[in-house]
Amino acid sequence: MVGSGGTRGIVDVLLREVGFNPDVESDREPDRGPVRLVASAVVILTGVVLLIPNVTVLLTPGVGPVGLALSLLGTVVSTGLVAAGYSLYHSNFSNRNAIRIAVWNVLGIVVLGSVMLGLFAYQRNAGAAPVDRAFTIANLLAIGAAAHVIIGVYDARRVRAEELAAERRKLAVLNRVLRHNLRNEATVMLGHADQIAATAEDQEVVDSAETLKRHVETVGELAEEADTVMSIYDRRGSGLEERSVRADAREAAAAVADDHPDADLTVDVPEGLAVRSDPALPDALEELVENGVVHGAEEPAVTVTAARENGRVAIEIRDNGPGIPEEEYQVVTGDTEITQLTHGSGLGLWVAQAVVDAADGRLDFGAPTEGGTVVTLRLPAA
């Protein structure tokens, strides 16, 4: 026996198959007020009204196989309209798009109903054999209304997609301006912090200036990392190229060694191993290697290895630290939603995630029994 929850799940799956995705718009709860109720009620009422003649014929004894098949089809479609109306009320479609779907539903009834009434008027004037008009009209109207509801859903999704595209363009401009201004302001603040630290006589002031300097440097790094992440996603995988894993790993290790000369960095990658990747692969590897150094043991050691596996190349970055907290990488991989409490502390892992997303790859995190952390980028082999 299927419970109400299971039935609703089956209905949701069927509705998604015809394009009625309840979560198509956003995760925000829409206003489920009178306007939305009316829009949903119109679709539900359409289904109920058209269901009655179809069920009547379905339950009538002696109906032939053709009539039985048509009445069964009309019953299923009419029931689908009722389910669609219910799902429309609980969906994340905006109220405006909910009304749009209801209007398409009414339009389907009006257009097809007018055609059918005209046809019956012609048959009557021509002296044609009478037919069960109520059943015929209900059957065809159910199909027409359902088709127009589906059209309405796709129309609403198209409108929403256009709105989202416009919003993305605005956000992209805002993002660029914000990152540019952050870098400029960080540079100015860094210069003043250096000057204060160099000229102040009070040690507490010097210490405060050094603390300010570290935080300003972090802000500047965040702006640069955000710029890298946005650039990768802006390319949308169109900038994929053949990359030498060994060369990129060595470049990343050398960059980290400049800032952390005491770290033990090892690159053990075979010659000739290549991947199809975004040009930002060295940036991703540098972020992961530096993450292993900064959050590693007192004497940090990070090893980069790579091997081919099933048409892909697995690049491993292994450190000897306490491990990356789950909330740090689960936010990046999408296993945990970003909230005020769980949001991660930097953008380094986001750079790595953006690189693997661009190449349809994978980013995995592991904690070996011997300790430390293993971060694995799986990218298509070139």
Is 250 found in the same domain as 125?
no
Token duo for residue 271: 């010659």
The CA-atom distances, in angstroms, between 291 and each of 112, 325, 344 are 64, 12, 13
188-221 residue pLDDT tens: 888 888 888 888 888 888 889 888 888 888 788 8
pLDDT of residue 342: 42
- Amino acid in position 12: D
- Cβ atoms within 10 A of the Cβ of 9, count? 12
Is 165 found in the same domain as 248?
no
52-79 residue pLDDT tens: 887 887 888 877 787 788 778 888 888 8
Length, in residues, of the chain = 382
In a domain, 349, yes or no: yes
Domains held by the chain: number? 2
Lowest-pLDDT range of 227-236, 279-288, 368-377: 227-236
Where is the domain boundary, 108, 134, 169?
Answer: 169
Is 274 found in the same domain as 151?
no
Is 348 found in the same domain as 252?
yes
Buried/exposed code over 230-254 (b: 16+ C-beta within 10 A; e: otherwise): bebeeeeeeebeebbbbebbbbbbe
In a domain, 219, yes or no: no
Is 164 found in the same domain as 66?
yes
Mean pLDDT taken over the chain = 78
Sign for the pseudo-dihedral over CA of 48, 50, 51, 57:
positive
**Does residue 85 carry a pLDDT above 90?**
no
In a domain, 147, yes or no: yes
Q: Are 201 and 209 spatial neighbours (Cβ–Cβ below 8 Å)?
A: no
Segment holding 77, helix H or strand E: helix 65-90
Token duo for residue 184: 């400029």
d(CA 5, CA 320): 47
pLDDT of residue 271: 92
Q: Are 303 and 263 spatial neighbours (Cβ–Cβ below 8 Å)?
A: no
Q: Assign 18 a pLDDT band (cuts: 50, 70, 90).
A: very low
Is 251 found in the same domain as 159?
no
Where is the domain boundary, 169, 198, 213?
Answer: 169
In a domain, 218, yes or no: no
In a domain, 281, yes or no: yes
In a domain, 228, yes or no: no
**Does residue 243 carry a pLDDT above 80?**
yes
Is 135 found in the same domain as 258?
no
In a domain, 25, yes or no: yes
In a domain, 91, yes or no: yes
Domain CATH for 361 = 3.30.565.10
| Domain extent at residue 272 | 241-380
Token duo for residue 272: 């000739």
Is 46 found in the same domain as 165?
yes
Sign for the pseudo-dihedral over CA of 183, 188, 194, 197:
negative
Lowest-pLDDT range of 19-33, 255-269, 365-379: 19-33
**Does residue 301 carry a pLDDT above 50?**
yes
Is 256 found in the same domain as 132?
no
Average pLDDT on 27-42 reads 78
pLDDT of residue 337: 55
Token duo for residue 188: 């100015």
**Does residue 381 carry a pLDDT above 80?**
yes
Is 161 found in the same domain as 277?
no
The CA-to-CA distance between both ends of the chain, in Å, stands at 51
Is 248 found in the same domain as 161?
no
Average pLDDT on 21-29 reads 48
117-175 residue pLDDT tens: 776 676 677 665 555 555 566 656 666 666 666 677 777 777 777 777 777 677 666 67
Picking from 309, 302, 306, 272, the residue whose alpha carbon sits closest to that of residue 287 is 302
Where is the domain boundary, 116, 150, 169?
Answer: 169
Is 164 found in the same domain as 310?
no
